[in-house]
Amino acid sequence: MAMSNFVYSFFLFSIVHSFSMPPTILKEPDSDIIFDPRINLELICLAKGDPTLVYTWTKNGLLYTVDTQNNNVIMANDSGTLIFTQPQSIDQGWYQCNATNIWGTAVSRRVHVRLAELGAFPIYDRAQIIQVRRGDSLKIPCKPPIGVPDPEIYWTDNANVGDQFGFRVANPRIQQDYDGNLYFLNVKDEDEQKQFICNAFSRKLNVIRRGTLTKLQVIQSDPIDRKPTKLWSSDAYKVFLKGKNLSLKCIFDGLPTPDVIWRKINGRIPERRSSIILEKQELIINDLQYEDEGVYECRGHNELGYDTFSINVQIEADPYWIEKPKDIHVTEGETVDVTCHTEAKPTLKVTQWLINGIPLQDISVPYNPRRVIMKNRLVIQNITKSDTAVYQCNVSNIHGYIFGNFFINVISEKPKIQRGPDTLYRVVEGQSVILPCETNGVPTPKVYWHKRNRIITGVRYSISKDGSLTIQDVSSLDNGIYICNATNKFGSDIRNTTLNIKQKTRIQTRPNNQQIRRGSQAIFRCTAIADNSLTYDINWYKDGKLLTYTGRFIKDITDQNTLKIVDVQFDDAGSYVCRASTELDFDDASATLIVQDRPNRPKITKIICNGSNDQPFAIVQWQGTGDNNARIIYYELQYNTSFQTKDWISVPIEQRKESFNEVTSPEGSINLESKTAIFNTTNIPSNQNDLRVSLSCWANYTFRIIAYNRVGASDASPISESMCTTKTCRPKTNPIGVKASTTQSVPLLIEWDNMPAIKRGSPTFWYEVGWRQFPLGTDPGPFSMQIIYPPQHQFPIPNSIMNMRYQYYVKAVNQQLGEINSTGAIEPPVYNIAFAGDSAPTYVPRNFRVLQMLDSTTVQFAWDPPLSSDEINIRGVLKAYQIEIFRLDDPVKSRLVISDILPNQTWTTVFNAPPNADVGAHIRIETERYFGPTSPVIQFPTREGRPGPVTNLRGVPYTSNGIFLLWDPPDETNGVIIGYQIDYKPIESIASQPGIDQPSILLRDDTRRNYLLSSLNPDTKYRVQVRARTSVGPSISPAIIELTTNLSLAPSKPTFTVTHRGQTFFNISFDPTIMTVPGSLYFVQYKENDKDDQANFKTSYTVSNDRTIFVNGLEAGKIYTTILVASDGIQAETKSDPQMVSTLNKGTFLYLYFFFLLKKNFS
């Protein structure tokens, strides 16, 4: 197969190069070959050249004749390859191949051929036995046999005497140095049960030699721990060659077994090219570079201390090519300058030049005065045909040598284009194209590319060494015919091709990122545009793989641009790419699908119970088990008790919420007033994984936990295996909901909410009701008491006197297990006041007034407290005050009721008064069952306020970088609208919560209801906010919409008309709505028509609201070439057809004026 490839390559070469050529080595042997005598040996030598080559070999510097050897050596027919059948020791030596024709001789590198062999270990009659104390270190030497190549040395341990091979010793406690010796860092009893054998393995021969068995007798003793000390290491100074691998090792004695750490002093060990083998405690660095030079330190350490050793590593290099000399074709009379460009370290190197394998200094080489050697440069001036030869460059230093052939072929040949461009190239705009024009000729032809009879130049064009033309970022301007012209002094050759530029395929509608609940349906939509002469297909990829539209993945038959995924599963999550492709190009747009579901069931991990005191509690700990791609928002901890085994009760926690209000001081300054609200919730923050739960006495508790995310609630965790049991104790609280009422048959009925069993604290429980008459101005008598057992939770006061003032309470009482006396609740009872047979009050609060106006919606009211004598008119217990506030022009719809004002208050602040209105307000009291009459209405005006949100906000994408906004005024103006404020910001992802980056746009025209946002990015989603403004400020709540701008498209060609002309100006008008793709920016370019030397157009940007551009600063009676330019505001511009527009001559205006006056007078 190799020979066939060679023949084919040579055939092609002969066609391309129709001239004679000196030899060139194509394949040669490696510099070092070790052979197995059982396998045939081949020394490859393959070259090319014209005329036919003759191959010869030298061995140990002398001509090696195959015919004189025994029959075990032959040379291949189609190359110079030597084939040795059953090679022998006599075939060892230094070989070199020569390929010769009439133009010279190419030589291969020198090859060292050696016989593979492996000696034997010394033979001993019996196993070696070594006595060692337990915990001591030990070295077992190994004297391996000599081999070619060097054998691999390793130790095996074998607990089974009958096992032939055993197991390799690979243990941090047992180490091997680079000479093959074995070290025990600390001996253990288990080492006595094994046999240790040193082995030598030849990979070339696939042969293993085994040394003498070694056994250990471990002397029983108490080992003494000791800090590490070095047993063996690599040499303190090591030289390695660049590109090779480094291996360094340190072995430390110690008990416990030391660990070894490597570091580079004043440097870093390269992470990607290095590894540390823990078992061998060895540092390896691959592909060494000069920067790896330095001092490396190994540190052996255990808990008792450490020991260190430093190794100085030097990186040197045998010679290697920076640029290898290349074959040269020249014509007579030229100068050849060849550099043998190599590097080596140490830099002391010797460069030797040879011709046809013979050193140029050799006396057999004729003297040539035109040939000059300057170290690593060879220069031949005024070259002639006699200089045709194969030259060699040989560079060496102390580490080796590098050898290269190149020929100088003196010929004359006219240019010929060997590989020219195809007839037609179709390329998509924005891409690069390479037009090949590979030439041959001597001297080397110069290649020029032409288009429209002009040589192609410019930053987007480049011509490579082989003559190929590369055009970067092609556009429609690059359409046309291109000609390649190759020329030297003997002639020329040309080829041409046509370049056809197509519009780029673009995604128009990009698929949106989606977050979908598992089991639902996901829909991705994607549309594209392509060149009119091309057709495109849309395909979908998931995580880089093309989707097949089977099963749950459906490509809509009626809409090929839509991908549907039904019954979405977690495996469907990932990146989806829509690819619109033609035969020439493609465009991608990606979207991410996140599949979400309710969280997995969390689990309770631990419960700590403390139920032995009067304040029992439990600490519950839990952990989540997965949020299913929707972050857990909160947890809910629930419990049930022995009293409510089927009911699960959520554990409340206390949280704080801080808010700020703007408060205007009497001096007019605005301050922030902080308010902290404390509230209970069952939502435990997601970053909290434990909770202390207060328990009730005399109950059994079990717990479970539920996790919540944006999808919903998880299934409840398994019920906790641990149960918290609490002892009996005093009730903590008294009954709630205590109140007194009057019925037709009962003047005074005391009622309360029945306390659930879990709050009673003991199985023996009752209520104690106390009451007494409590008239004003007299000393009350003692309480009367009554015991009430649950479930009863009301008691009629016996013999109550109508309209008598009473004081009463209800208290929880229980009896502890094993005790005689009863105990009341820890919480003291609440003493309440009631009237027997109460009725509707007649009391009206006095002096109700406005205290101050804090802002447009905030009012402070005040009133006088009731007197003691007013109690008879209150007719019961004053429960609260109630204020009503309303607009005088619409009292029903605007009514605002403020309830639950505490009975001890004499002032309050109302925050939601109607702004910018005449307002009325009144106050009344509230008792347990009745409202009192309202006070007289007080009237006052409120200040102008901030308006409500604008209504009916909508927007339309306008070209590729604009959004046209429309809106209606707010329903609640709250004052005089003086204008509008617009804020906007791009939204970079579906999860972003943008602030307002751009400066606010202030419209000071209160009649303005639209605005064009311009200079936006194409195909970008924006969030837009519009607020109305009064003199107080903008709307508190903005109206918000989100819109995506269009893709960037070049505008259609615009048209315009001239509407007004003067001596120094003219106006043009245009209508973007009639354009298929309107521009977002319009301007006029103009210049005097008779000034051909005026290369640059002037530009006018003055555009009025009625789409008119005013061009001024002109001269009278001149004709101007005028062009209207439509731009997308980014880079695309489209020009109208030019029109000639003339200004009026001087005096034309006066003539028109007088004509107008005459016409008016005669009419």
**Confidence (pLDDT) at 2:** 37
- Whether the ω angle into residue 366 lies within 30 degrees of 0, i.e. cis, is no
Rounded to whole angstroms, the Cα distance separating 467 from 458 reads 16
> What pLDDT is attached to residue 990?
43
CA dihedral over 151, 157, 163, 167, signed as positive or negative: negative
Residue 1149's pLDDT band (boundaries 50, 70, 90)?
very low
Residue 886 has φ and ψ, to the nearest 5°, of -160, 160
| pLDDT tens-place string over residues 1006-1018 | 888 999 888 788 8
Mean pLDDT of 572-579: 94
Q: How many CA atoms lie within 13 A of 581 on its CB side?
A: 7
Strand (E) or helix (H) holding 1161: helix 1148-1162
The helix or strand, by DSSP H or E, that contains position 251, with its residue range, turns out to be strand 246-255
Using omega within 30 degrees of 0 as the cis cutoff, is the peptide bond preceding 51 cis?
A: yes
pLDDT of residue 17: 45
Structure tokens at 828: 């003291």
Comparing 3-12, 16-25, 87-96, 940-949, which segment has the lowest mean pLDDT? 3-12
Count, residues in the chain:
1163
Give the pair of three-digit tokens for residue 1054.
């615009």
| Predicted pLDDT of residue 534 | 92
Give me the pLDDT at residue 258, please.
94
What is the mean pLDDT of the segment spanning 575-589? Answer: 94
How much is the pLDDT for 994?
47
CB atoms near residue 1128 (< 10 Å):
24
2-115 in CATH: which number?
2.60.40.10
How many Cα atoms sit within 13 Å of 125 on the Cβ side?
0
Q: Is omega for the bond preceding 443 within 30 degrees of 0, making it cis?
A: yes
Q: How far is it, in rounded angstroms, from Cα 853 to Cα 672? A: 17
pLDDT the model gives residue 243: 94
Single-letter code of the amino acid located at 841: P
Ordered DSSP codes for 377-414: EEEE-S--GGG-EEEEEEEEETTEEEEEEEEEEE--EE
Nearest to 11 by CA among 58, 44, 59, 50: 50
Mean pLDDT value across residues 520-540: 92
For residue 1158, what pLDDT is reported? 43
Q: Which fold has domain 123-223?
A: Immunoglobulin-like (2.60.40)
Where do the structural domains in the chain lie, given as residue ranges? 2-115, 123-223, 225-317, 324-410, 413-502, 506-596, 603-725, 739-835, 849-930, 951-1044, 1057-1150
Quote the pLDDT of residue 1155: 43
d(CA 180, CA 199): 9
Question: Binning pLDDT at 50, 70 and 90, where does residue 877 land?
Answer: confident
Secondary structure string (H, E, C) spanning 952-1020: EEEEEEECCCEEEEEEECCCCCCCCCCEEEEEEEECCCCCCCCCCCCCCEEECCCCCCEEEECCCCCCC
pLDDT of residue 996: 52
Mean pLDDT of the chain: 88
Return the minimum-mean-pLDDT range out of 184-188, 874-878, 1081-1085.
Answer: 874-878
Which tokens is 10 given? 């040579």
* CB neighbour class for 1126 (10 Å; exposed up to 12, middle 13-18, buried from 19): buried
pLDDT of residue 435: 96
With residues binned 3-state (H G I as helix, E B as strand, rest as coil), the percentages for the chain, rounded to 5, are 5, 50, 45
CA 1062 to chain centre: 61
| Pair type for strands 433-435 and 832-835 | unpaired
Tokens of 89: 């020791």
Q: For 790-849, write each residue's pLDDT tens digit.
A: 999 999 999 888 878 889 999 999 998 878 888 888 899 999 988 887 678 889 999 999
The predicted model gives 720-741 an average pLDDT of 90
Q: Tokens 């009459």, residue?
A: 933
- At residue 231, φ and ψ (nearest 5 deg) are -95, -40
pLDDT value at 1105 more than 90: no
What is the distance between the alpha carbons of residues 317 and 435, in angstroms, rounded to a whole number?
42
Q: What is the DSSP string of 435-485?
A: E--EEEEESPPEEEEEETTEE--STTEEE-TTS-EEE-S--GGG-EEEEEE
- The two domains 225-317 and 739-835 share their CATH topology (first three levels equal): yes
Q: Looking at domain 849-930, which CATH architecture does it have?
A: Sandwich (2.60)
Rounded Cα distance, 380 and 373, in Å: 9
Read off the pLDDT of each residue in 23-34 and give the average, rounded to a whole number.
Answer: 94
**Contact call for residues 831 and 809 (beta carbons, < 8 A):** yes
pLDDT at position 1156 = 44
CATH 2.60.40.10 at 739-835, yes or no: yes
Which residues touch 462 (CB under 8 Å, ≥6 apart)?
A: 469, 470, 472
Cis amide linkage into residue 149, ω under 30° from 0: yes
Q: Is 1069 exposed, middle or buried (0-12, 13-18, 19+ CB in 10 A)?
A: middle
d(CA 949, CA 929): 41
What confidence score (pLDDT) does residue 411 get? 86
Higher-confidence residue of 556 and 440: namely 440
More confident residue, 1095 or 598: 598
Cα 334 vs. chain centroid, distance in angstroms?
59
Cα 576 to Cα 510, 537, 567, 958, distances in angstroms: 11, 16, 17, 29
User: In angstroms, rounded to a whole number, what is the distance separating the alpha carbons of residues 443 and 467?
Assistant: 14
DSSP H or E run through 771: strand 764-773
Residue 238: predicted pLDDT: 94
Kindly report which listed range (459-463, 616-620, 730-734, 958-962) carries the lowest average pLDDT score: 958-962
| Cα–Cα separations (whole angstroms), residue 21 to 13, 18, 26, 44, 408 | 10, 9, 14, 22, 9
Report residue 1154's pLDDT band, with 50, 70 and 90 as the boundaries.
very low
Question: What pLDDT digit, counting tens, does each position of 675-719 carry?
Answer: 788 888 999 999 999 999 999 889 999 999 999 999 999 999 999
Q: Find where tokens 């190149």 sit.
A: 406
Q: State the residue for tokens 């080559």.
A: 53
The CATH fold assigned to 225-317 is: Immunoglobulin-like (2.60.40)
Residue 165: per-residue pLDDT:
56
Contacts of residue 322, defined as CB under 8 A and 6 or more positions apart, other chains included, come to 341, 342, 343
- CATH number attached to the domain at 1057-1150: 2.60.40.10
CA separation, residue 251 to residues 221, 269, 855, 1038, 1137 (Å) = 24, 20, 84, 74, 88
Which residues contact residue 1087 at a Cβ distance below 8 angstroms, ignoring those fewer than 6 apart?
A: 1094, 1096, 1097, 1098, 1120, 1121
Contact 197, 156 (CB under 8 A): yes
Structural domain 603-725, CATH architecture:
Sandwich (2.60)
Top-level class of domain 951-1044: mainly beta
CATH code matching the domain that covers 324-410, chosen among 2.60.40.10, 3.30.70.360, 3.30.479.30, 1.10.3720.10 = 2.60.40.10
CATH superfamily of 506-596: Immunoglobulins (2.60.40.10)
Under 8 Å between Cβ of 341 and 377: no
Closest CA to 588 of 701, 511, 683, 665: 511
Stretch 101-116: mean pLDDT: 95
Give the chain's largest Cα–Cα span: 151
- Which CA distances in Å does 683 have to 503, 720, 773? 57, 20, 47
Q: How many whole angstroms separate alpha carbon 203 and alpha carbon 473?
A: 56
Least confident segment among 45-49, 279-283, 695-699:
279-283
Q: DSSP string of 522-586?
A: EEEE-EEE--TT---EEEEEETTEEPP--TTEEE-SS-TTEEEE-S--GGG-EEEEEEEE-SS-E
Q: Is 747 helix (H, G, I), strand (E, B) or coil?
A: coil
Q: How much is the pLDDT for 282? A: 92
pLDDT at residue 1096 in the model: 62
Percent of the chain's residues with pLDDT above 90: 62
* Closest residue by Cα to residue 262 from 282, 234, 287: 282
Q: Which CATH number fits domain 413-502: 2.60.40.10, 3.30.470.30, 3.40.50.300, 3.60.15.10?
A: 2.60.40.10
